[in-house]
Structure 1
Amino acid sequence: MVLNEVYPERMLSDNEKFERIIKTINKRFTTYGYKRIKTSAFEQYDLYSKVKSSINQNEMIKVIDHTGQVLVLRPDVTIPITRELAQNFPDLSSELRYFYVQEVFRQPIDRNDSIERTQAGIEYFCESSAEADAEVIALGCHLMKDLGFNDIKIELGHAGFFNELVRGLPLTPLQIDQLKSLIQAKNVVEIGPFLKSLEIKDEVREVIERIPFLYGNPADVIERTKGIALTEKIQDTLDYLMDIFSILKLYGLEQYIVMDLGLINHMGYYSGVIFQGYVEKFGKPVLMGGRYDGLGAEFGTALPAIGFACEIESLVKATESREVTSRLPIDIKITYADSRLEQAISIANELRERNYSVLSFSERKEHADLRQSVYSICLEKESNSFLYKGKNVQFSNLKELLELLVGGLEPK
């Protein structure tokens, strides 16, 4: 299912795009084995104020309950999910996959922005491995393709690259934040003078100055790191990123991947691979994520994990420059002769129980809905036919119909 297939319908409203995007997201996350999870809209302020790697507390929307306790409207989903799993699974004996579609609430920097935004994302609790990290990035890329975007770019980086470079340097937290901002903005004009004002070795300064240029095709970026004074840990990080890229090539997604060693995410709990996704003619990321192996320790247990989130409102805006006129195609459309109403209802109920999306119409109202379907079923007065990819096959009962649907998909 793709978002940009054009059918003879009116243009979609933003509300229809919103709902359609969520439906596509739910389906794609489910195909990767994720189960939906929900968290409370109100959380204790201490949950976020005491977690070292949390969001900016000035962005939180605080409220007071009837007991005088300070609560916050949910500013983040990853932290409460991790807390809940830490309480229920003190030892991660098996991998856990969850997804969510929920509102988050933060004070916006721009007064014109909304306090409330809808996030959809996944949390994959598993040991760190190139295979697991590549699978999550592939899921994000496949989701963007499902939504109909063709010009997709996934920037791939690692939180450990910058952290290792500045480890041990005589920098204050404020100076580190300033340096992060300059690197994130790729401000090559100001990075040099800023570094010269600090007491750091020339060879380290030269490496940091080169970070904004370490962007592009992964193989080319790695080639440009040669000759840089790297520690063994930094080299291991670069090798790991190339392992992820090699696996993404197996998914057939290499054309969408660029490496950015200057990639820095504002969520401080990311500790490993980080990534963000862009789509055509939209100036900010529509998808952001990374690995956060240390967050579970904030709640007294080891819960290594990787995840990402995308903002539904941004995805809606990203479709504004494109002609999106269709709704999601349905799985199955049933048309029936008036005398076959009972059979049509019976078949529709059975197929819905098997998780197919079904629309059913009398042949008198066949054109009441112009959405396309993957399969078509026609119940005429004395015959039944099944249509798929231009092939029309007769069937006599429900069992034969189900065999056509699941038996290799294409009827013989």
Structure 2
Amino acid sequence: MYIDYKLNDENVKEFEKQERIIKTINRRFLTYGYKRIKTSTFEQYDLYSKVRSSINQNEMIKIIDRTGEVLVLRPDVTIPITRKLAEDVLDLSTELRYFYVQDVFRQPFDKLKEIESTQAGVEYFCESSPEADAEVIALACHTLRDLGFGDIKIEIGHAGFFKELVEQTQLNDIQLKQLETMIQAKNVVDIEAFLRGLSIEDSLRNAIEMIPFLYGNPTEVSERAKKIALTDKMNEKLNYLTNVYEILKVYGLANNIVMDLGLINHMGYYSDVIFQGFVEKYGKPVLMGGRYDQLGNEFGANLPAIGFACEIESLVEASSNLEVSSRIPIDVKVLYDMSCLGQSITIANELRERNYSVLSFPKGKEQVDSQQSIYSIRIEQNEQTFHYKGKTSSFSSINELMNLLIRAKGDV
């Protein structure tokens, strides 16, 4: 019998690459204080059919169990996590951070796409604030950086800005869906023709026609958007989004952020800040997320939250354009003189206690095939130095070393 070993070998390599990506993501989520949870593979159909802001029911994979109850293979993770939390918490009194790595199942409209995909994501249950939203977006950016991507762009928008605008048009559901599709595609010609067929004021029509052009540098987009903000609520949402961007600048991510007020997410439960992440040489978003403060209301609970999810298969495909190491990079590599063994152990242990991964070698005995590191430290008899991106800095205490690491982390 003939066995295609080449195909098997490719499958193994693909799985190994997927596992490396998942391990890297897990480690980054843990550094932000998230705890891993899981949900059931099979969920009640009613869980999704009765949620107004749920996914398209035509995408669900339905089955019938032995009792005749209709179940679905898990099409989403955010909804069951929120439902489960609502059983125990009716009103959020403390922040909760969860992450997951699970398969989701959806019937794609594109027949070439797989029904099953693996998602890794976070759910941060907390009151709405620019600080919390910026932290989650920073986590998304840092996760992509950990995976080896260089040219990372996070597009941020606000679901409420567009919603507030179109609510003044009194469109029916079909018309709204048509307009959203055109806005998402930035189809300016069809938008103009569509709006000409509606009986709306010129100021409102002009504002909607401007939406596809509100894309680019956040400061410039914000200034242009102020000119079409027809209500106080629109100005409030724009100011909120601007505040999020200002905090992201503090994270050192100014060059990674693009504002897109025409950004529309197909998950209907997103109500406020929304965002999606892109990496070089890959034309589709590799992660999507946003704030969903009203989803808990569907289950009788007040559970404001923000989160995002990455599709692992997209990350694997996108990383094929990179020269990615066959091993997961560690955080810090320590090289030391034998006379400084005690100091090197102390520093390595301190870093590990602070959740850094560390490899330590005596000078001249580093393994040739050892993993790459983001940072390196040299411990010599008369000097201790920190190395990052070709720069060398001396330090004399663990506090000075931690300050160097913190500054380096902000250098995306």
Q: Distance in 1 between matches of 2:38 and 2:113?
A: 25
Q: 1:175 to 1:332 in 2, by over 3 A?
A: closer
Cα distance per residue 1:318-347 (max 9 Å; x no partner)? 01112123311357999xxxxxxxxxxxxx
- Mapping 1:64-79, distance limit 5 Å: 64-79=64-79
C-alpha distance in 1 between matches for 2:17 and 2:142: 18
CA distance in 1, matches of 2:13, 2:294: 42
Shift of 1:306: 0.4
Equivalent position SS for 1:13: helix
Q: Identify the structure with bigger relative contact order (alpha carbons < 8 Å, sequence gap 6+).
A: 1
List aligned pairs for 1:330-345, cutoff 5 A: 330=330
**Runs of 4+, deviation exceeding 6 Å:** 331-334, 351-361
Matches of 2:27 and 2:36, distance apart in 1: 11
The offset of 1:168, in angstroms, is: 3.9
Q: Name the structure 2 match of 1:208.
A: 208
Residue identity opposite 2:16 in structure 1: E
The answer on whether the counterparts of 1:82 and 1:295 sit within 8 Å (CA) in structure 2 is yes
Residues 333 and 360 of structure 2 are in contact (CA less than 8 Å); yes or no, is this contact kept in structure 1? Answer: yes
C-alpha contact (below 8 Å) 1:270/1:290 kept by paired residues: yes
Corresponding residue for 2:54?
54
Distance in 1 (alpha carbons) for counterparts of 2:181 and 2:239: 26
- The offset of 1:169, in angstroms, is 2.2
Listed as ranges, the matches of 1:368-379 within 5 Å are 370-372=370-372
Aligned to 1:261: 261
Change (3 A) 1:44 1:409: farther
Deviation at residue 359 of structure 1 after TM alignment: 8.6
Alignment of 1:290-309 (within 5 A): 290-309=290-309
What does 1:5-404 align with in structure 2 at a 5 Å threshold?
Answer: 13-228=13-228, 230-330=230-330, 370-372=370-372, 389-391=377-379
CA contact (8 A) 1:170 1:200 kept: no
Indicate the residue corresponding to 1:382 in structure 2.
none
Native 8 Å contact 2:215 2:258 kept in 1: yes
Q: CA RMSD in A?
A: 3.2
Residues in 2 aligned to 1:310 and 1:373: alpha-carbon distance in whole angstroms: 24
Bigger Rg, which one: 1
Kindly state the Cα deviation for residue 358 of structure 1 after the two structures are TM-superposed. Answer: 8.2
> Residue 332 and residue 220 in structure 1: after superposition, are their counterparts in 2 closer, same or farther (change >3 A)?
closer
SS, match of residue 390 in structure 1? strand
Partner SS for 2:141: helix
State the distance in 1 between where 2:138 and 2:330 align.
25
Question: Which amino acid is the alignment partner of residue 315 of structure 2?
Answer: L
Contact kept, 8 Å, 2:241 with 2:273, in 1: the verdict is: yes
Query: TM-score, length-normalised on structure 1?
Result: 0.81
* Aligned-pair CA distance for 1:14: 2.2
> 1:58 & 1:171 partners in 2: Cα distance?
24
Letter in 1 for 2:161: F
Pairwise CA distance, 1:229: 5.3
Contact 1:203 1:229 (8 Å CA) reproduced: no
Number of aligned residues: 366
Q: Secondary structure at the match of 1:225?
A: helix
- Cα deviation, residue 374, structure 1: 8.0
For residues 227-283 of structure 1, give each alpha carbon's deviation from its aligned partner in whole angstroms, at most 9, with x where no partner exists: 325101001111111111111111111111111110110000011000111000110
C-alpha deviation, 1:144, in angstroms: 1.0
| Structure 2 CA distance for aligned equivalents of residues 372 and 277 of structure 1 | 25
When residues 391 and 126 of structure 1 are mapped into structure 2, their CA distance, relative to the original with a 3 A threshold, is same
Q: What percent identity do the matched residue pairs reach?
A: 69
Letter of the 2:136 counterpart: V
User: 1:128, CA displacement in angstroms?
Assistant: 0.5
Deviation string for 1:208-243 (max 9, x for gaps)? 001000111111112212432510100111111111
Contact (CA 8 Å) 2:148, 2:324: kept in 1 or not?
Answer: no
Rounded to whole Å, the distance in 2 between the matches of 1:354 and 1:136 is 20
Q: TM-score, normalised by structure 2?
A: 0.81
How far off its partner does 1:131 sit?
0.7
Partner of 1:348: none
Q: Cα distance, 1:51 vs. partner?
A: 0.4
